[in-house]
Each structure stands twice: as C-alpha cells, then as structure tokens.
Amino acid sequence: MKIYFNRRPNPGPWGGGSKVLSAIVEEAQRRKHQVFFEEELHKSNSFDIYFCLDPRSTQHVSYMDMLLKRRNNSNSKIVQRIGDLGTHGKPELFDIVSQTARLSDVLIYPSFWAKNYLGLNHKNDKVIANAPLKDFFLNTNKLQFSNTIKIVSHHWSNNQMKGFDLYQELDEFCINSKGEYSFLFVGRKPEGVNLTNYLGPQDTQSLSRILPENHLYITASKKEAGANHVLEAMAAGLPVLYHCEGGSINEYCQNNGMSYNNFENLKDILKNKKTEFENLYKESCYVRNSHDMSKEYLDFLEEIA
C-alpha cells in the first residue's frame, strides 16, 4: 500500500501531533508499506491513502493539491486526522478543518470531545485516542510521599491556553508553602512568565527520567483535542489534577486523577485531599502506548484502503 502524509515527522521536543505521526509512520514502514511525505506528492499518481495531518498549506503542498491528485485514482481515500481545532488562539483553523473534513473520505479523531466539538455528521469517522511513547513507561519507580509533595507540568507550546496564569499562581503557592509543596515546569513559556523551577524543552529520554521524580502532575490546559502531555505523565506513574474544561484531558484522565475548576478549587484539593491523591499515586497503572495506537491506525487504514 502507498501512503502519502502531508507532513513530515519532526524529531525532538515537538507537540503531540508530530509524535502521533512518527508512531504511525514507523508502524507503516514496519508493515512494509511505501511511505511518502509532504514534498513527495509528485512521486506517484496512485497513492492508496492520502493522510492529512494538518489541512493548512505549506510551501510544498495544499489540501487542494491532494484533491487534484486523488482524481487520478478513484479507489484512493483521503483520511484526515482531526488534531488542532484552533481552540488555542487560532479560530481560523476551525473553519479550515471544517471545510476540509467535509471533503475527506474518512475522519479520525483523537477523542470523543474533538468529534463533538467539530460537530460534523460525517458517515465515515473513527476515534483513536492518543498514546505516549514507550520511553515514558521505563522509569515508573514510586517515590515515597515525603514532607515535600513534588508537582510537575510540561508543555512544548507557550500558548496562554495552556494555563500559564494558573501555573504562576501555583508557583507562588508552592513558594509560600514552606517546603510542603514544590513545582517544576518543563518546556516553553511565554515571555514575562516567571517560574521558580523551570527547565526548557527536553528530549523524550530526558523527560521520561524527569517526570517520575515527582509525585503529582498538574495541567491547566483547556480545550485540548488530543493532549499528549497528560498521557506521558500517567505513563510515568503520576496521577493528574486537570482543569474541568480540559477537553480530551477529561477523557484521558478520568480514571487516574481529579478535576478542578479554578485555582482556589485546586488549592483546596492540594490542601485537603492528600490521602486521596497519594492513593492514586500508589495505584496508577496506565498501559496503552504509542505502538498500540499506531497498530490501531494501520489496522484501520488497511481495512478501508
């Protein structure tokens, strides 16, 4: 089978979409399918699958280019993965996704929240949840809860919808706790956001070692279509405190965390539910990894091709 992807995987500390693409490509190559990328649309007139990871145009390809190529092979399928829905400051992207989704043969969503948010009644769609790389399962030794409860969060995007206002409040709360709590943030942050314990973006190997050195993961991100950061935290053995408007996060973490609705509510949970999230920490067991996810994708693509 010939599969064309309208993006090329990016190594390093990139967001969830790139990690999903990398896993799918690796599984396709493992199954001996022919794989082509963004700038290679001209290499064949008969791709079996045109896989759209992002409908926006690049210097190499546009969605219309894919449609024109598809006309040469009526048996081919355009499969669009619904990833970024423009909820993090890109409202124009929602319109682009809506338009291209209607022109696609098959839609794949990373969550039921994303499917409901887009709101299309498409006859061919499927939900395949994201999953973390195997690396994050390698270092899940449980720490003993000590006098200091160690909290961590990470994002590769510095968009304000990730919740940086709350992270600043959390940072101040931890500083004033006299050692009862600590907070580490890893990743990119907006200019002007100051956090006491901060590490820049890390590669997968480094991050997979950093996360299990903590007891609790907090995310303030809202309206996430398919949030990888919480999956990585759960794979590392951490329970998650997540915002009630987290979108897919609520789906992914419902059996391994607690939700809050504002900082005061979060602070109350931290102060009064220590025993509950200590038990969550001891019992947390997340097992689905990116290889499982990529097999689901390839099984489905082979079925529809």
Higher pLDDT, 69 or 214: 214
Could you tell me the residue ranges of all domains in the chain? 2-131+289-304, 135-283
Q: Is the pLDDT of residue 188 over 60?
A: yes
2-131+289-304 against 135-283: fold identical: yes
Q: Is the pLDDT of residue 16 over 60?
A: yes
Dump pLDDT digits (tens) for 143-169: 888 889 999 999 999 999 999 999 999
Task: Select from 3.30.365.10, 1.10.10.60, 3.40.50.2000, 3.40.30.10 the CATH code of 135-283.
Answer: 3.40.50.2000
Q: Is the pLDDT of residue 53 over 80?
A: yes
What pLDDT was estimated at residue 280? Answer: 87
Q: Is the pLDDT of residue 13 over 70?
A: no
- Residue 250 tokens read as 């609520």
Higher pLDDT, 206 or 71: 206
Query: Residue 143 belongs to what H/E stretch?
Result: none
What pLDDT was estimated at residue 12? Answer: 59
- Residue 46 tokens read as 């008969």
What pLDDT was estimated at residue 3? Answer: 97
Average pLDDT rounded to a whole number, residues 64-72 = 87
Banded pLDDT at 227 (limits 50, 70, 90): very high
Distance CA 226, CA 251 (A): 10
Q: Which of 59-63, 159-163, 298-302 has the highest mean pLDDT?
A: 298-302
What pLDDT was estimated at residue 133? Answer: 92
Task: Select from 3.40.50.150, 3.20.20.70, 3.40.50.720, 3.40.50.2000 the CATH code of 2-131+289-304.
Answer: 3.40.50.2000
Average pLDDT rounded to a whole number, residues 77-81 = 96
pLDDT > 70: percent of the chain: 98
Banded pLDDT at 15 (limits 50, 70, 90): low
Q: Which residue has the tokens 């700038």?
A: 39
What pLDDT was estimated at residue 127? Answer: 97
Q: Is the pLDDT of residue 14 over 60?
A: no
Q: How many CB atoms within 10 Å of residue 274?
A: 15
Q: For the whole model, what pTM was predicted?
A: 0.93
Question: 214-239 burial, b if ≥16 CB within 10 A, otherwise e?
Answer: bbbbbbbbbbbbbbbbbbbbbbbbbb
Higher pLDDT, 289 or 89: 289
**CB–CB of 232/209 below 8 Å?**
no
Dump pLDDT digits (tens) for 101-126: 999 999 999 999 999 999 998 888 99
Angle at 200 between CA 199 and CA 202, to 5 degrees: 100
Dump pLDDT digits (tens) for 267-297: 999 999 988 888 888 888 889 999 999 999 9
